[in-house]
Structure 1
Amino acid sequence: MLKNRLYYADPECQSFTTQVVKTEIDDKEEFYVVLGQTAFYPTGGGQPHDTGTINGVPVIDVIEIDGEIRHYLSGEIDATGEVDCMIDWERRFDHMQQHAGQHILSAAFVELFGFSTVSFHLGTSLVSIDIEAENVTDEQLKAAEELANKVILENRPIEVKWVTDDELHQYPLRKQIQATGEIRLVIIPEFDYNGCGGTHPEYTGQVSSLKILSAEKHRGNTRVHFVCGKRVLNLLHDKVNVVTEASRLLSAPEDRIGQAIEKLLETNHSLEKSLKEAQEALLTFEAKELLSQQRNGLVTAIFQDRSIQQLQKLARLIVAESDETIVLLVARNEEKLQFVAARGSVVAASMKDVSAAVLPLINGKGGGNDAFVQGGGDYKLTEEEFIKMMESSLTSSIN
């Protein structure tokens, strides 16, 4: 066994003293120390690194490079004599619960359905495994979860054994092991035998519970998201708060929240339909008002914070009402100018010519045809100046 690695010798070690073997600043100008022995777990095997302190200075990262475990600190420390080290136990134990839960769930999928785990990720809020199955039913997920929790409740021992290559054949391994030399097996007798370099509790009962949250297809496999231990309680706490707040807002008991939401959605859909109809009626009325103010067959208008879609609808309504009319509409939206130019069916002037003349003035872009164009650009001219330039270009186009 790698004797200077206390996280293997005693996974529940929360504090220790040791000598500093080396201090260094890497090529990224980051300070790290190497210790004579360490209980800080370095990132690896899907499990994140430990955090904590060394002589009161926070440990922000732990990585292993060529057999050397580097402890990156937020500041430098005095490396003479012994240093006092503290593990962030809440973080470590959480990782132990999640990692052991992953072993149990992966073994459950193998035992029940022959689905092997091909990858594992331990995130800050969720854990996931990718299992070698393109389709996994809800019934299969439920069965695997139930078996996993049964094994947890039975409080079976989680054993660790160091073996050699020649001894591997004695164990019914869940998957082939590529490592050689000292090989670490994590074993739940008569259930799971797996090579692993991570940290685990001594008994399955310490995992507390496991809950599958979702599953999705991922690159020909199925990715299963789940949580274990305290994360299950945290998730339950959050969901209870959400349900309680939803019940209050909907004025409905918790067991009727779904029905209340359905009713709310129906009402919202009806209101959206009524609002759309009202907006269309208002636009029709506005189009007639603008048309009544035309000057020699020209309708112009300036707006603030009107969408290009509304400008387009207004212009189309006006030229549909009067086929001898030209419409020029401009809107300022924050630091942008947008415009629409349209003509009635008996008008000969080209709106594309108008657009081509004014777009360079605002570094703009636009599109359309001879009958209808729209565009926009930077606020380099006032709305009044811009619409005058449109009128001027229209006169030139007609002449």
Structure 2
Amino acid sequence: MTTRRLFYEDPYKMEFESKVIKIDKDERGFYVVLEETAFYPTGGGQPHDTGTLNGFEVMDVEELEGEVRHYTREKLPAETEDVQASIDQERRIDHMQQHCGQHIISAVFDDQFGIPTTSFHLGTDTVTIDLDTEHLSADLLEKVERQVNEVVRDNYPVKSKWMSAEKAAEYPLRKPLAVKEDVRLVIIPDIDYNGCGGTHPHSTGEVMAVKFLGWTKNKKQVRLEFVCGYRVLQKLEQKHRILTEMKRLVPRPEQQLVEEVDELITSSKEKDKKIAELEEHLLQHEARDIISEFQEGRVIQCVFQDRPVKTLQSLGKAIIQETPDAYLILISEQENQLQFVLAHGENINQNMNEIAKQIMPLIEGKGGGKPNFVQGGGKKFMDGDVFADRAKDLL
């Protein structure tokens, strides 16, 4: 028995009653098949509706094996014969706004600028269409967006009709039909004639507004991102909150925020560069001090507290550059771990990876590097001095 699809008869129908045909389960979960339904199943780029059946949450609606399956979080009682159904109205209206907005956008791009749409995706936050072009200029986007919103403002009627494929072919369709059986044609007079199974409002004015958010290259096409209807207000509110917070942090008029933030970032980068240079100078001084303490020894061994391994690496490189005949062991003790650098100068021929492999099991460690310079770390099963002495014994 074919389910009667109420969303085609009235896309604004959010409450309905129906008899249950089947309650079953598949790999997706528990599902219900109804005699009639206003729940829209996923298809044509538009997501499914959500809502409730007798208070049981409907999480997904899919058309499979000729059935419209309403997937519920919990299984309805097996004896259920009738359901009182309720659709998430906010979600349905949102999908209607986005889908209708997409029809208008695609129509303007195609008719006015010769750029056809090749695919459509209605996401939870934004909507995207793929356009058969490799570039969109700012000027073109501004023109299209303005024309699209003029269509919205002029409040064209949006109609849908079921007809044969032959009859539909008499209309100025945007693309050839992929089916030979009866087709549902969505018509915005003088704007768009398209075979479509989605839900749409009764007029373009209900789309409210359309805002382009940007585009990216997608293979040899472009992907345009946009929002329609209440999503425009949500995006505006989101950006307004961000701007308000930015003005609190950077007390400047909105039109000066970009310039001010750019100056702050540039200044911060310059400061970071200066700090890095000063830190490098300090490490060079520290390296010379360490070398002077071990002038008579062939092994330079130091244990530090809470030094990052990157600092150990920089310090180690500075030391071995000045000590071609010495071995180097640097250890950083941290709360729960030990980190280390093992290295030697250019006049020594020994693979420090072999030394590391022998001592890393002591701390369940990991590490590696070049034959003359190895770094790693592990758990703090012993003091840093003890670990350093164990490494020294192997040299």
TM-score of the alignment, normalized to the shorter chain, above 0.5 = yes
Per-residue CA distance 1:79-128 (angstroms, 9 max, x = gap): 54432111111000000000000000000100111111111000000000
Q: Does 1:17 align with 2:17?
A: yes
SS in 2 for 1:259: helix
- Report whether the alignment pairs 1:115 with 2:133: no
Q: Give the residue type in structure 2 aligned to 1:130.
A: D
Does 1:318 find its partner at 2:316? no
Would you say 1:153 and 2:153 are equivalent positions? yes
Cα deviation for residue 336 of structure 1 reads 5.2
Residues 77, 335 of structure 1: alpha-carbon distance in 2 compared, 3 angstrom cutoff = same
Name the structure 2 match of 1:327. 328
Query: One-letter code of the match for 1:71?
Result: H
The alignment's C-alpha RMSD in Å is: 2.2
Corresponding letter in the other structure for 2:53: I
Query: Are 2:169 and 1:169 aligned?
Result: yes
Structure 1 residues 333 and 107 mapped into 2: Cα distance closer, same or farther (>3 Å)? Answer: farther
Counterpart of 2:59 in structure 1 is 60
Q: Give the letter aligned to residue 180 of structure 1.
A: K
Q: Is the 8 A contact 2:325 2:348 kept in 1?
A: no
Q: Is the 8 A contact 1:31 1:75 kept in 2?
A: yes
2:3–2:35 Cα contact (<8 Å) kept:
no
What is the CA distance between 1:349 and its match in structure 2? Answer: 6.1
Report the equivalent of 1:179: 179
- Separation of aligned partners in 2, 1:225 and 1:165: 32
| Unaligned runs of at least 5 residues, structure 2 | none
- Is this contact kept in 1: 2:342–2:375, CA < 8 A? no
Kindly indicate whether residue 393 of structure 2 is the aligned counterpart of residue 392 of structure 1. yes
Whichever residue aligns with residue 46 of structure 1, its letter is: G
Q: Partner amino acid for 1:366?
A: G
Q: Which moved more, 1:245-254 or 1:202-211?
A: 245-254
How far apart are residue 141 of structure 1 and its match?
1.6
CA contact (8 A) 1:341 1:351 kept: no
Structure 1 distance, partners of 2:46, 2:185, is 16
Q: Which moved more, 1:322-331 or 1:230-239?
A: 322-331
Distance change (3 Å), C-alpha of 1:77 and 1:321: closer
Residues 334, 131 of structure 1: CA spacing in aligned structure 2 closer, same or farther, 3 A cutoff?
farther
State the Cα distance separating 1:8 from its structure 2 match. 0.3
Between stretches 259-268 and 182-191, larger displacement belongs to 259-268
- Kindly indicate whether the alpha-carbon contact (under 8 Å) linking 1:103 and 1:192 is maintained by their aligned counterparts in 2: yes
Match of 1:397 in 2: none
Residue 33 of structure 1 is matched in structure 2 by 32
The equivalent residue for 1:296 is 296
CA change 1:348–1:176 in 2 (3 A) is: closer
The answer on whether the counterparts of 1:359 and 1:366 sit within 8 Å (CA) in structure 2 is no
Do 2:344 and 2:373's aligned partners in 1 also have CA atoms closer than 8 Å? no
CA distance in 1 between counterparts of 2:311 and 2:55 reads: 62
Aligned residue pair count: 389
Amino acid across the alignment from 1:190: D
Alpha-carbon distance in structure 1 between the residues aligned to 2:232 and 2:335: 47
Alpha-carbon distance, 1:179 to partner: 1.8
Q: Note the alpha carbon deviations across 1:368-390, whole angstroms, 9 max, x for none.
A: 23xx3213243375322321122
In structure 1, the partner of 2:281 is 281
Say which SS state the counterpart of residue 58 (structure 1) adopts. Answer: strand
Matched, 1:131 2:131: yes
> SS of the residue aligned with 1:45?
coil
Q: Is contact 2:306-2:332 (8 Å) kept?
A: yes
Q: Does 1:7 align with 2:7?
A: yes
CA shift for structure 1 position 131: 1.0
Q: Is the 8 A contact 2:163 2:182 kept in 1?
A: yes
1:238 aligns with 2:235: no
Unaligned runs of 5+ in 1: 395-399
Q: 1:179 to 1:309 in 2, by over 3 A?
A: same
What are the Cα deviations for residues 131-157 of structure 1, in whole angstroms up to 9, with x where unaligned? Answer: 111222222222211111110000000
Counterpart CA distance in 2 for 1:116 and 1:334 is 61
Contact 1:342/1:351 (CA < 8 Å) preserved in 2? Answer: no
Matches of 2:288 and 2:47, distance apart in 1 = 67
The 2-side partners of 1:111 and 1:348 are apart by 75
- Cα offsets for 1:261-312 (capped at 9, x unmatched): 0221122022112211221122123223322322732321112443333223
Amino acid at match of 1:367: G
Q: Tell me what 1:225 maps to.
A: 225
In 1: Cα distance, 2:159 partner to 2:171 partner:
13
Partner of 2:211: 211
Could you tell which deviates more after superposition, 281-290 or 209-218? Answer: 281-290
Counterpart in the other structure of 1:267: 267
Q: Once structures 1 and 2 are overlaid, which stretch shifts more, 151-160 or 255-264?
A: 255-264
C-alpha separation between the residues in 2 aligned to 1:388 and 1:312? 19
Q: Which amino acid aligns with 1:315?
A: G
Letter in 1 for 2:89: W
Following TM superposition, by how much is the alpha carbon of 1:37 offset from its aligned partner in structure 2, in angstroms?
0.7
Q: Structure 2-normalised TM-score?
A: 0.92
Counterpart secondary structure, 2:74: coil
SS in 2 for 1:17: strand
Q: Normalising to structure 1: TM-score of the pair?
A: 0.91
